Amino acid sequence: MTSSDLDITDTVLAELRSASDIVQVIGDHTALKKAGRSWKGLCPFHNERTPSFTVDRDKGLYHCFGCGAGGDVIRFVREIDRLDFPEAVEVLASRFGVTIPRRQRRGPREDRRDRLFEALAAAQRFYAQRLARPDNAAERYLVERGVPKEMWTALGLGHAPDAWDSISKALSGAYPEDLLIEAGLLQPRAEGKGAYDRFRDRLLFVVRDERGRPVGFGGRALSPGGEPKYLNSPESPVFSKKRLLYGLFEAREAIRRSDRVVLVEGYFDHLALVRAGVAETVASMGTALTPEQAEKLKRLCPRAVVCYDGDSAGRKATHGALQLLLAQGFETRVARLPEGEDPDDLLRREGPEAVARRIDEAPDFLAWLLEDVRPDEPGLASSEKRERIARIQEVLGAISDRVLRYEEYRKLARAVSVPLEVLWSGEKANLRAEITRSSSVGTLGNTAVLSGVEAPEAEKQLIRFLMSESERKSLILSQLDDIYLTSSVVKRIVTVFRTGSMVSEPIDFQGQIADLTDDERTFLSGIALDESPEPTEKGVDQLLKVLETSQLKGEISALRQALGKAEAEQSDVTELVREIERRERRVAELKRKG
Ligand SMILES: [Zn+2]
């Protein structure tokens, strides 16, 4: 049965709207509080900290004054669960006990999908029955790994026997071969006619859709040399790996209850966490988390804990997952796993309580990143430090909310002792890197090391001072004559600093330096990450003198050339001589003061 054959009339809709409690439906997605006649809460469609989302039970309407989302209960279900109209109607009808008549005629496409669901459900029953038979390979494997028997049935585990035709024999009487191939249960022979079982000699995990229907399988090889170790169902009209999450159907209630979702990579990681009592766990079936999966999870809850393997591949995957979760606005934590261990190793070594504790005590994602990347490791070369900070910035750049992103930058600046303005100024370049992340070149880390912009040391030191906490910054800025500066990038940065107060108003700062090129911004961060002591106020006075003197000397030399030319042409040189003398007096004066 599919929802597209529902006979949805206006009468039916009116009945459904009056039967559906909109406060109850929306209350599953965001906490609502009574406020006068209406209910108020945080909008489930956009990130906000103060409630601008209002629900009126009598009118059956909701509206968000923040993002403009609004409508009736059907609209809400469509938006929040990404359902089409008939599907949303069907969900509400079954929840509130409204009967909707069905049309007689159905399209062949719907029939085909229904047949796929039926075949997959039959296959799941068949594999589960085979696991229930005494002494089979999958049973021995599960016992050996210490998986308790009640979990076998709870998760619908199965056994694909070591044969080429077991599922084919079991189902071919009821379903045509091409349907079983489309369902991913059979594989067509490379040569000749016919097909054989896709899953052989494997322990099977069943993947379900949102309504709990089996849509595919993941199989773990049971023989030691079995290749590949894990085999998933192929893509089919009902199985889309990038949209589905293993365990989501079973975890839905626990996710709502605990208000968090725990993400793992594989089937056995999932099993380990469920055994540890962390029922709100889902797995991305051995591949990287996808944007579609992150979006799906965000509709269920706002908090996520990433629990990937404690090896370099797992940590790398964690960086990727963090970016997707942060882009969706998740409050994200990362479980600390011992080096080289996965959740299943941990369960076996430390027991279920220890696993659950690692999840509960998972640090905030930034704390984890700092532990993982270690940008403040002692004795680090400044280029290496820069590169490590860039790796963290790459993750922070994914945070969609600007205010929250700035907050994380502030924490990062504190942790790595780099002025916030400098980190934040590189942020825009980073965001661009994030957008083109698929090409994975051109991140700040690369450009930072390859900066082509240069400036004399004294001018660099001046910039360092202007980025410091000194109260005299603005005074220096007002005294500084730009003519002393030879480097065009330093001139531009000084102009930028002068136009804005360098106080910590980040948004203005970023707007101001938006004109700088990537290289120029990189130049700025390079100066800020210099590990030598910052110039003192006295040192800056000295710097200004050095800059002015060098400017005057340049002018004197130009004037002397002009003087020589004028003398050769026997022109009047009085003015030139006076100009030279005036500058030489100033040079001498600066020298005396220094
Ligand atoms: Zn909103």
Spell out the SS3 assignment of 396-431: HCCCCCHHHHHHHHHHHHHHHCCCHHHHHHHHHHHH
**Cβ burial 209-232 (10 Å sphere, 16+ → b, else e):** bbeebbbbbbbbbbeeebeeebbb
Say if residues 122 and 174 touch (Cβ distance below 8 Å). yes
Determine the residue type at 468. Answer: S
Q: Is-contact 22 57, C-beta < 8 A? A: yes
The CA-to-CA distance between both ends of the chain, in Å, stands at 90
Is 370 a residue whose pLDDT tops 80? yes
Provide the pairing of β-strand 261-264 with 303-306: parallel
Q: What percent of the chain has pLDDT over 70?
A: 87
Distance, CA 406 to ligand 1 centroid (Å)? 21
Complete DSSP assignment for 463-482? HHHHTSS-TTHHHHHHH--G
Ligand 1 centre and the CA of 65: distance in Å? Answer: 7
Tell me the pLDDT of the chain averaged across its residues. 84
* pLDDT for 453 beyond 70: no
CA of 115 to the centre of ligand 1 (A): 40
- Interval between CA 431 and ligand 1 midpoint (Å): 24
Ligand 1 centroid – CA 331 distance (Å): 17
> What is the distance in A from the centroid of ligand 1 to the CA of 37?
20
Mind listing the pLDDT tens digit for each residue in 130-187? 999 999 999 999 999 999 999 999 999 999 999 999 999 999 999 999 999 999 999 9
Instruction: State the pTM of this model.
Output: 0.61
Structure tokens that stand for 288 in this block: 């990287």
Spatial CB neighbours of 378, under 8 Å, sequence gap ≥ 6:
none
Phi, psi dihedrals of residue 333, rounded to the nearest 5° = -125, 165
- Ligand 1 center to 342 CA (angstroms): 38
Q: How many angstroms is it from 74 CA to the middle of ligand 1?
A: 17
Measured in Å, residue 54 CA sits from the centre of ligand 1 at 10
Q: How far is the CA of 86 from the centre of ligand 1 (A)?
A: 24
Per-residue pLDDT band for 536 (boundaries 50, 70, 90) equals confident
Composition of the chain by helix, strand, coil, percent to 5: 55, 10, 35
Distance 153 CA to ligand 1 centre (A): 41
Please give the average per-residue pLDDT across 349-376, as a whole number: 95
pLDDT at 530: 59
What would the pLDDT profile of 241-258 be if each residue is shown by its tens digit? 999 999 999 998 889 889
Q: Higher pLDDT residue, 503 or 213?
A: 213
Residue 371: the pLDDT is 96
Distances (CA, A) of 421 to 382, 405, 444, 527: 18, 13, 16, 12
Instruction: Name the residue with higher pLDDT: 479 or 280.
Output: 280
Distance 334 CA to ligand 1 centre (A): 28
Distance 22 CA to ligand 1 centre (A): 17
Residue 226 has pLDDT above 80, yes or no: yes
Long-range contacts of 465-468 (CB under 8 A, 24+ apart): 465/534, 465/535, 465/539, 465/540, 465/543, 466/493, 466/494, 466/497, 466/502, 467/419, 467/421, 467/422, 467/502, 467/524, 467/527, 467/528, 468/419, 468/534, 468/535
Cα 361 to middle of ligand 1, angstroms: 31
SS3 (DSSP) at 515: helix
**Measured in angstroms, how far is the CA atom of residue 508 from the centroid of ligand 1?**
26
Distance 61 CA to ligand 1 centre (A): 14
Q: Is the pLDDT of residue 45 over 50?
A: yes
CA of 67 to the centre of ligand 1 (A): 4
Which pLDDT value is given to residue 427? 63
Calculate how far, in angstroms, residue 42's C-alpha sits from the geometric centre of ligand 1: 8
pLDDT average, residue stretch 103-118: 80
45 Cα to the center of ligand 1, angstroms: 5
Instruction: Mention every residue, 6+ apart, whose C-beta is less than 8 A from residue 377.
Output: none
In this structure, what DSSP letter does residue 564 have? H
Separation of CA 43 and ligand 1 centre (Å): 4
If you measure from the C-alpha of residue 125 to the centroid of ligand 1, how many angstroms do you get, rounded to a whole number? Answer: 43
Find the 48 Cα to ligand 1 centroid distance in Å.
Answer: 8
| Across 5-14, 57-66, 328-337, 507-516, least confident range | 507-516
Say if CB 235 and CB 265 are below 8 A apart: no
